[in-house]
Amino acid sequence: MRTLLAILVAAVVTGSLEASRQAEGPAGAPPSLRFAVIGDNGTGERPQYEVGEQMASARGRFPFEFVIMLGDNMYGRQRPADFVDKFEQPYAPLLKAGVLFYAALGNHDDPTNRFYAGFNMGGERYYTFVRKHVRFFVFDTNMMDPAQLRWIGQTLARARESWKICYFHHPLYSSGGRHGSDIELRVALEPLMLEHGVHVAFSGHEHVYERTHPQKGITYFVEGSSGKLRRGDITRTDLTAASFDEDRTFMLVGITGDELSFQTISRAGRVVDSGVIHRRPPT
**Interface residue list for another protein (CB under 8 A):** 75-78, 105, 107-112, 141-146, 148, 170, 178-180, 182-188
**Min dist. Cβ of residue 44 to another protein (A):** 12
What are the DSSP calls for 203-221, one per residue? E-SSSSEEEEPPBTTBEEE
Q: Which is nearer to another protein, 85 or 182 (CB)?
A: 182
**Min dist. Cβ of residue 81 to another protein (A):** 14
Q: Which is nearer to another protein, 131 or 207 (CB)?
A: 207
**Min dist. Cβ of residue 172 to another protein (A):** 11
Distances (CA, A) of 113 to 43, 93, 122: 15, 22, 10
**Min dist. Cβ of residue 186 to another protein (A):** 8
Distances (CA, A) of 22 to 25, 50, 124, 162: 6, 30, 36, 20
**Min dist. Cβ of residue 126 to another protein (A):** 12
Q: Which is nearer to another protein, 142 or 162 (CB)?
A: 142
Helix (H) or strand (E) holding 53: helix 46-61
Distances (CA, A) of 122 to 63, 117, 131: 25, 8, 16
Q: Which is nearer to another protein, 203 or 263 (CB)?
A: 203
**Min dist. Cβ of residue 93 to another protein (A):** 27
CA-nearest of 49, 64, 171, 71 to 121 is 71
Helices (H), 144-212: 146-158, 183-195
CA distance 170 to 65: 25
Q: Which is nearer to another protein, 76 or 232 (CB)?
A: 76
Q: Which is nearer to another protein, 227 or 254 (CB)?
A: 227
Alpha-carbon torsion (186, 188, 194, 196), positive or negative = negative
Q: Which is nearer to another protein, 199 or 205 (CB)?
A: 205
Distances (CA, A) of 125 to 105, 114, 167: 7, 6, 12
**Min dist. Cβ of residue 79 to another protein (A):** 11
CA distance 102 to 140: 13
CA-nearest of 243, 234, 246 to 273 is 243
**Min dist. Cβ of residue 277 to another protein (A):** 25
Q: Which is nearer to another protein, 56 or 188 (CB)?
A: 188
